Amino acid sequence: MTKPLSRRVYAITALILAAVIFVAINIAADASLTTEQIDLTQNGLYTISKGTKEILRNLKEPITLKFYYSKKAAADYAQINAYAARVRDLLQRYAALSNGKVIVEELDPAPYTRAEDQANAAGLTGAQTDDGHVVYFGLVGTNTIDGTQTIPFFSLKREPFLEYDITSLIYRLSQPQKPVIGVLSSLPLNVGAGGMMAALQGQAQPYVAWEQLAQNYKTRMIPADFKTLPKGIRVLMIVQPNKLNAIQRYAIDQFVLRGGHALVFVDPRSDLALASGDGGQPVAPASSNLPQLFKAWGIGFNPNKVVLDGRLAQQVEVQDNPHDPIVLYPTWLRIGRAQMNRKDQVTANLSDLNLATVGALYPVKGATTRFIPLISSSDDASLISTTRLQLTAPQDLLNAIHPVGKPFVIAARISGPAHTAFPNGPPTGVPAKGQIKSAKSVNLIVVADTDIFDDRFWVRLDQSYGGKTIAEPFADNGAFILNAVENLTGSNALISLRTRAVSTRPFTVVKELQAEAQAEFQQQANDLQQKLSDTEHKLRTLESGGTAAAGGAVQLSARQQRQIENFKRELIDTRLQLRKVQLNLRKSVDQLGSILAFLNIAFVPILVALFALALAWLRRRRRARAVNL
């Protein structure tokens, strides 16, 4: 009779079998599921977007992606190795989803190898390590007609935008003929803030939004004295236009009525236009408007009014108040998701926009077009004239807000039937034959701000990689511009992923606390200033009313001295109240920070521990019941 195996042998055997099964499952998964993953991030940063899948699915010609990575030189840099693994995995998933149209090759450009020569020839940037080695970490894409696109270096700062960067590269290679964008602007978008003089000296630095447009489209600048628009334009982009004559307005009118799409940026007071250009003069007129065309398109816009918004105001530093140099500036706005149209493809995936001195748009009564808001202010907003704005100190602007109870529209989509802005015929000098007087549907996007192009409001420029400039967005200004152009050209595939990885998540509760405290502080600051003025006036009155003493000095009476002391105590009390407001603000923010820290660090482990204790208690009760039975 055979002896039964002991429990110990059973346990050891079970452990060995579990280990074998675990290894087998890992080997099988590594062989068959290398392109699968579970994404538990809130914004789905590691999930392939629908836009990428659509672009890969519609590829007609093969695209080769050569991934250059210096394995040996980067072996001691764990962060770069981890990022390289993510890039490698993502490229493999692209190949798997493309039905064979995306071919991925990985090359190690070790020193003095052919791969290193190819990397240098393609324009990839090598990063110098501490021990003198060079790390290549970039991508070169080619198509069947010798088109080439590169990512010179996968900067860690752009890791949240990894999918967009690679998909955009593939998209550009799949479009041998880029759509033509006609650009009519008084701003030096294509040469930068220095203007044409800087460009002639070889110091041009185009705005990042312009560089992105030029990379994805064929841009054609329209001269200021144009009489007709160039043929072949898919989208007409108008930015802070100069005053147009009748012939120019008619050309735009007919372009839109013939089915051309337009993206228009106007501004009641453009900070970008007021920047110093050639000769120290402003680069463009501060205000812009297209009243005749706007009226025909069903749009109202006052070029002399700027939106003030207390809830969306950004913090700025002022130099004339050393006691409180940081104030809320309600003409510089941080637009969040709540202020953007979540149903429109242009703004559906945006997170934040930084805008400055914006205007307000509204639908004209009786218009035949549809007016669809895309970007709006909060309802804690009002309008201020540009003249009054120039005369008001930044710290006093919050008091100038008188909310009307509803938001103001900053950007809108205009669609539907429209009529010509020239119902009596074309202007003198233009043949009347061929005029279009109405259209069943127009497609326009109008924005009452041009500072959206200003780099300082949305992007950081880093030149740490071999002199190459790396753009690190912290807001979606550039994404909005590209989304609008892509939408108007009929290409929507990239919109779903352009901004999906923006990781900035502002503390909205903290911001509201700061806004409330700032408003209270501002009111008390105004009261203090008034008391200071009154006190100085009273002191001067008291001094002038004193008795002349020997040597010409003024001798104050005991009563006057007591009054002065009272004034001084009053000033001290007011300053103490101001400090109390600031202390309460700091205390509220600190308490909120402590709560958030507790929730992030301790709350989840405590929940897990409580769950484990509860589970152990339940098991113990079940065992006790089983024993009793």
Q: State the pLDDT at residue 460.
A: 87
pLDDT at 602 over 70: no
pLDDT in tens, 233-261: 999 999 999 999 999 999 999 999 999 99
pLDDT in tens, 129-140: 877 889 999 999
pLDDT in tens, 523-557: 655 565 566 566 656 656 665 555 545 454 556 66
pLDDT at 501 over 50: no
Among 206-220, 502-516, 577-591, the minimum mean pLDDT is found in 502-516
pLDDT at 201 over 70: no
Of residues 477 and 133, more confidence is placed in 477
Asked if 532 contacts 575 with a C-beta cutoff of 8 angstroms, the reply is no
How far apart are the C-alpha atoms of 257 and 439, rounded to whole Å? 5
What does pLDDT average to over the chain?
82
Asked if 403 contacts 348 with a C-beta cutoff of 8 angstroms, the reply is no
Tell whether the torsion through CA atoms of 144, 147, 153 and 157 is positive or negative.
negative
pLDDT in tens, 107-123: 999 998 999 999 999 99
If you average pLDDT over each of 184-198, 212-226, 315-329, 517-531, which comes out highest? 212-226
Question: What DSSP string runs through 42-103?
Answer: TT-TTSPPHHHHHHHHT--S-EEEEEEE-TTTTTT-HHHHHHHHHHHHHHHHHHHHTTT-EE
pLDDT at 562 over 50: yes
The whole-number average pLDDT for the span 318-333 is 76
Tell whether the torsion through CA atoms of 143, 144, 147 and 152 is positive or negative.
positive
Tokens of 263: 């993206």
